[in-house]
Structure 1
Amino acid sequence: MENGISIACGPNVDDYHWMEVLMREAGPFFDGISLHHYALASYWEDKRPAIGFPENEWFSLIESALKMDELISKHSTIMDQYDPGKRIGLIVDEWGSWLAVEPHTNPGFLYQQNTIRDAIVASLTLNIFHRHADRIHMANIAQMVNVLQAMVLTKNEKMIKTPTYHVFDLYKNHMEAQRVDTSSILSKHTDFTVSKKENLLTISLCNYDLAAADDVIFDIRDSEIVSISAESLIGTAMDQHNSFDLPDNLTKQLFNDYILNNQNELVVTIPPMSVISLYVTLG
């Protein structure tokens, strides 16, 4: 396509045979291939509530979101056979939580609430994309306004920011940065990503345990830490969310539960049900 790119219709979630045939037969003719994956709390025909859900559905939705890593890894392995130079991008053009619509809304409009659980889904998914940045050329959350895992919800002249909006805000410093390779031993419910842009190191973490905080120690070598600032999104209930009556019930806050030792060891205590970003200026 002159002055543009061509994107092929990709596989239905884990249809690896589709990816194999398309890459083998038509790989030279397109620049990207699409992939969809939605996080579900149950199975497709049984959309579960966005608020007022039981504890097991906190974890079932998150486990469904984490399947994104397996999908990208397996599809990328196939793509690597036919495109080792990674010219073709994997385009995750629809992702996010798909839950039950809110009562008394048009079911065709897919209007759902957005909680700290959705914020965790966003954080974990963005971390996965960062780990596969060599193959993921583009990734779009499915909808922005009033549909599925939206950034904002509107009602007449009113608009509220969802917890998912605040996660994207917490992650904005990763844009145009270089992912930093790390080695780590983490607890089961903790995840993070690190990137560097000039002398700014951005560390974004999440803890999806429902009760326990977690300490993570970063050993930052070959550089001296000059300054640190941090922001957080911390839930106090599994379904904490914003509403038109309480638009700032869950919003971004300053965070200071970290310790710096010897100018290069950073110890961060991550609360349960939280997403944290630290902005570390290096000397």
Structure 2
Amino acid sequence: MTIEAVINVDLDGPKINRHVYGHFAEHLGRCVYGGFYVGEDSAVPNEGGIRLDVVEALRELGIPNLRWPGGCFADEYHWQDGIGPRSERPTMVNTHWGGVEENNHFGTHEFMALCEMLGAEPYISGNVGSGTVREMSEWVEYLTRDGDSPMARLRRANGRDEPWRVRFWGLGNETWGCGGNMSADQYAYEARRYGTYCRDHGDNRLYKIAAGANADDFTWTETLMKQIGHLGCKRVTSTAFHALSVHYYTVTGPTWDQKGSATSFDTGEYYRTMVAAARIEELLAGHAAVMDCYDPNRTVGLVLDEWGTWFDVEPGTNPGFLHQQNTLRDALVASVHFDLFHRHADRLVMANIAQTVNVLQAMILTDPDTHAMVLTPTYHVFRMNRGHQDATSLRVDLRGPLPSRPVGDATLTTVSLSASRKDGRLLISLSNLDADSPADVEIDLRGGTVHDLRALILTSAAPQDHNTPQSPSAVAPRPYDGASVTGGRLRVHLPPHSFVTVSGTL
């Protein structure tokens, strides 16, 4: 069966915010220490302790923003412990992640230096759980205020004269759980309070993100929306926050303590993972529908600032470090997520994969013994999709149903695609989730002609395949000749378990 679709390349859809390709770095396992930060005395090439090969690799993705310092860690982190001479910074115990000692050598100045090296905007998650309103307010002042003030003087004493620009601020994290075990009403009060005292300084305008729901807790979203709008009102009446978040992980094991192996899985587990990943469509649509009731003009953003696969840790590693391998299965989870992000571009303003280095669904894995750096299959999906950042989304109209298969009590649609246009280039992303059968897609491109066609494919012999220091390119993109365009009709052959991007000049 050939899948038939129509794309009107001259009919604009919503703009795809580049920030949906955002990232997340928590003080967790080897994400920061050993991942981003190796220290100035390390044999690994670095600048100010920041690992240069990791920075170079992430710059290739056009990483738009980086969320830090957590995660659950954010609500036990006190920022003034991470400034000043490193030898004088107090230590703490990371009670959430492995019970290890945190020396605070990577703090505010180091994080801002990392963002500058990456060309990424910082997204700081503030401490609501164990912190104070004053503490967060002073962090904003320390980072963003020019002129004379107590925190500006403290910043200058620590070596930084000019303020930084920091737009994105999270008002806590998972306040329904590790961030304070609050009720929705309790947190709504705290969000207003903290949001009030996080001030704009000079021309730095904050974009405040309230800590939103866990997965399908639509009541939490409604409780927050009631704080800034009224049912059916077309005007947001409060600026205590400008967006709210939601968290959703693709978890398929029988229990939370048995999530399954990242690399040893059968076809049934593979399909259950894809069903769980596709559920993000239901969640984004559900939260957007609730938000529309109070904000029909869609001025409040939805932020999916934690997403990705979560499997059992690799054997022999610290259970609290959440270190997992990354296979072609993970890459296809990412590709499906991005298609859905593009379809919800009218409400979704940011998304952050968890996490960037060495933790959960990482872009990069670093070997602690050899210091080798490995780019994961998920990294390659981000790289292949880079052209969608800040592009105009294009609607994909189908002339019939997409292929599907039953998976337990669910039905999995096995082909996913999305398209966008930017700077005179068309980019179409296509995924075939079927583990065994190929698919053929024929797209009627209307409203323009396409030439200079280029295609890339990411696939391998099996969904379990992954990259290692010994085989760093086992799963890597390669030029693909399975796409052609004739008379305005684009034909693409999709092998089993594959991700393909097709681009051309309009």
Q: Deviations over 1:98-149 (max 9, x none)?
A: 0010001111110000000000000000111110011001001011000000
Q: Deviations over 1:198-247 (max 9, x none)?
A: 32100001001011110011101121222200111012112000011111
Q: Which residue of 1 aligns with 2:211?
A: 9
Whether the 8 Å CA contact 1:39–1:96 is kept in 2: the answer is yes
Same amino acid, percent of matched pairs: 40
Between structure 1 and structure 2, the one with the greater Rg is 2
**In structure 2, which of residues 367, 374, 382 is the aligned counterpart of residue 160 of structure 1?**
374
How far, CA to CA, are the matches of 1:251 and 1:161 in structure 2? Answer: 9
**Is residue 310 of structure 2 the alignment partner of residue 85 of structure 1?**
no
How far, CA to CA, are the matches of 2:227 and 2:388 in structure 1? Answer: 36
Q: Which residue of 1 aligns with 2:242?
A: 31
Unaligned runs of at least 5 residues, structure 2:
1-198, 230-237, 405-413
Question: TM (normalized to structure 1)?
Answer: 0.97
Q: Which amino acid aligns with 1:266?
A: L
Of the two structures, which has the highest relative contact order with CA contacts closer than 8 Å and spacing of 6 or more? 2
SS of residue paired to 1:201: strand
**In structure 2, which of residues 461, 470, 478 is the aligned counterpart of residue 236 of structure 1?**
461
Q: CA RMSD of the aligned region, Å? A: 1.1
**Is residue 385 of structure 2 the alignment partner of residue 171 of structure 1?**
yes
Q: Deviations over 1:237-283 (max 9, x none)?
A: 12000011111111110011123222x0011001111111111111x
Whether the 8 Å CA contact 1:41–1:58 is kept in 2: the answer is no
Displacement after TM superposition at 1:6 (Å): 1.2
**In structure 2, which of residues 224, 241, 247 is the aligned counterpart of residue 22 of structure 1?**
224
Unaligned runs of at least 5 residues, structure 1:
none
**Is residue 280 of structure 2 the alignment partner of residue 68 of structure 1?**
yes
Kindly tell me the number of residue pairs found equivalent between the two proteins: 281
Q: Which residue of 1 aligns with 2:501?
A: 277
**In structure 1, which of residues 250, 267, 270 is the aligned counterpart of residue 491 of structure 2?**
267
Displacement after TM superposition at 1:52 (Å): 1.3
Displacement after TM superposition at 1:25 (Å): 2.6
How far, CA to CA, are the matches of 2:462 and 2:396 in structure 1? Answer: 31
SS of residue paired to 1:268: strand
How far, CA to CA, are the matches of 2:425 and 2:389 in structure 1? Answer: 12
How far, CA to CA, are the matches of 2:340 and 2:256 in structure 1? Answer: 23
Whether the 8 Å CA contact 1:62–1:121 is kept in 2: the answer is yes
**In structure 2, which of residues 321, 325, 333 is the aligned counterpart of residue 109 of structure 1?**
321
Displacement after TM superposition at 1:26 (Å): 3.6
Q: Which moved more, 1:18-27 or 1:35-44?
A: 18-27
**In structure 1, which of residues 51, 59, 68 is the aligned counterpart of residue 263 of structure 2?**
51
Q: Which amino acid aligns with 2:224?
A: L
Q: Which amino acid aligns with 1:187?
A: P
Question: TM (normalized to structure 2)?
Answer: 0.55
**Is residue 361 of structure 2 the alignment partner of residue 145 of structure 1?**
no
Q: Which amino acid aligns with 1:212?
A: S
**In structure 2, which of residues 393, 414, 424 is the aligned counterpart of residue 199 of structure 1?**
424
| Deviation beyond 4 Å, 4+ runs, structure 1 | none
